[in-house]
């Protein structure tokens, strides 16, 4: 039974992308008050692609005709962190396809993401952001989100992984993971919420993990994602009077650079996924888009698993496989 079960489950297709995980190398206790990154780069960097003028923001949605009168309808502006690749990149493309202007923010270059959005006819701007630095968030806000439309949302997607056990984890590793995965969203929410309040509200989506629902491999990562879930619930309560909804998505194994790794670990994980496959980034993006949208107008403080059934019933298959219960 065990072998036939395993045969049903396809291996995660390697994307060929660099499997290394961004380390948030510019993080550090000495950087929090800096006006510029340690390497001297400005903390806010709108991306202008070669041969292009700086993009002033969206144009296609600006003017709509209503009863013969011309009125300006600004697109909603959403900041997506960790936008250089993986799920963040997919979210930018998805949200732009739905008419949002996306502020693609990352500590890695985001030109590919901005180009992908524009190639698809969408609107995007690129921003250099290290989520763990408060000054970096301030610089993002000071660039003037209003120039792109009506500030509306934030997707706290940036994250780094660290599979070290408690015994093996270093203080440096622990601090780095917590700074990116937990302090980063805290800073983003704290900086963005007053901006959203000033224009009548908005929506925030945090990308946590299945690791936020169970004990899992990687003490710092698991702790950071449990913390992010808790932060989201408190934020939902605090900001409901401001018209801001805050929700959390808990992805399972998703085929991105972070989702790559030890084949045996991945194969074992997939044997616990009832849908018998990894997810793809677009399947998460669609849920992000729903939670940001007015379709979710009464949804706040919620958690939504996007994991092929891993958390809800992954143990079912494990028990079946280990006991031949269906033999």
Question: Would you call 44 a catalytic residue per the annotation?
Answer: no
- Where b means 16+ CB within 10 Å and e means fewer, 228-254 reads bbebbbebbeebeeeebbbbbbbbbbb
As given in the structure block, the two tokens for residue 147 are: 């120039």
For residue 78, state whether it binds ligand NAD (rule: CB under 6 A).
no
Q: Which of 79, 114, 160, 182 binds ligand NAD (CB under 6 A)?
A: 160
How far apart CA 218 and CA 261 sit, in angstroms, is 14
Span 1-60, contacts to ligand NAD by CB under 6 A: 21-22, 24, 27
For residue 254, state whether it binds ligand NAD (rule: CB under 6 A).
yes
User: What is the enclosing helix (H) or strand (E) of 234?
Assistant: helix 219-239
Which residue stretch of 4-12, 71-79, 86-94, 294-302 sits at the interface with ligand NAD (rule: CB under 6 A)?
86-94
User: Could you tell me which of 212, 287, 204, 209 has the C-alpha nearest to residue 238?
Assistant: 204
For residue 204, state whether it binds ligand NAD (rule: CB under 6 A).
no
Shorter beta-carbon distance to ligand NAD: residue 27 or 43: 27
- The least distance separating ligand NAD from the CB of residue 214, rounded to whole angstroms, comes to 12
Q: How far is CA 247 from CA 78, 119, 236, 258, in A?
A: 15, 30, 7, 22
How far apart CA 179 and CA 191 sit, in angstroms, is 16
For residue 286, state whether it binds ligand NAD (rule: CB under 6 A).
no
Shorter beta-carbon distance to ligand NAD: residue 236 or 258: 258
For residue 223, state whether it binds ligand NAD (rule: CB under 6 A).
no
Interacting residues of 95 by C-beta distance below 8 A, sequence separation 6+: 78, 80, 102, 155, 285, 288, 289, 292
For residue 88, state whether it binds ligand NAD (rule: CB under 6 A).
yes
Interacting residues toward ligand NAD by CB under 6 A: 21-22, 24, 27, 81-82, 84-88, 106-108, 129-132, 157-160, 180, 207, 209, 251, 253-254, 256-259
Q: Residues with catalytic annotation?
A: 221
């Amino acid at each position: 039974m065990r072998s036939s079960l395993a045969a049903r489950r396809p291996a995660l297709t390697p994307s060929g992308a660099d499997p290394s995980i961004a380390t948030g190398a510019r993080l550090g206790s000495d950087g929090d008050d800096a006006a510029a990154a340690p390497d001297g780069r400005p903390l806010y960097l709108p991306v202008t692609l070669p041969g292009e003028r700086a993009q002033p923001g969206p144009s296609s949605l600006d003017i709509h005709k209503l009863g013969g009168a011309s009125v300006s309808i600004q697109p909603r502006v959403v900041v997506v962190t960790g936008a250089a690749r993986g799920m963040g990149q997919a979210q930018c493309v998805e949200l732009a396809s739905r008419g949002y202007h996306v502020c693609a923010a990352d500590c890695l270059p985001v030109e590919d993401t901005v180009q992908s959005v524009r190639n698809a006819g969408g609107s995007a701007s690129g921003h250099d952001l290290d989520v763990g630095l408060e000054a970096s968030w301030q610089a993002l806000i000071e660039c003037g989100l209003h120039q792109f439309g009506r500030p509306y949302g934030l997707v706290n997607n940036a994250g780094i992984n660290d599979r070290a056990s408690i015994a093996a984890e270093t203080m440096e590793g622990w601090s780095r993971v917590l700074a990116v995965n937990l302090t980063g969203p805290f800073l983003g929410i704290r900086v963005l919420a007053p901006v959203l309040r000033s224009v009548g509200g908005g929506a925030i989506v945090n990308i946590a993990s299945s690791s936020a629902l169970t004990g899992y491999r990687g003490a710092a990562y698991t702790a950071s994602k449990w913390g992010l879930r808790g932060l989201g619930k408190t934020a939902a309560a605090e900001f409901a009077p401001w018209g801001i909804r805050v929700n959390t998505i808990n992805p399972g194994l998703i085929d991105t650079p972070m989702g790559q790794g030890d084949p045996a670990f991945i194969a074992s994980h997939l044997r616990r996924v009832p849908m018998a496959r990894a997810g793809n980034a677009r399947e998460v993006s669609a849920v992000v888009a729903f939670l940001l949208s007015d379709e979710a107008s009464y949804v706040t403080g919620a958690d939504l698993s996007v994991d092929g059934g891993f958390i809800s019933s992954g143990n079912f298959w494990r028990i079946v496989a280990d006991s031949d219960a269906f033999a």
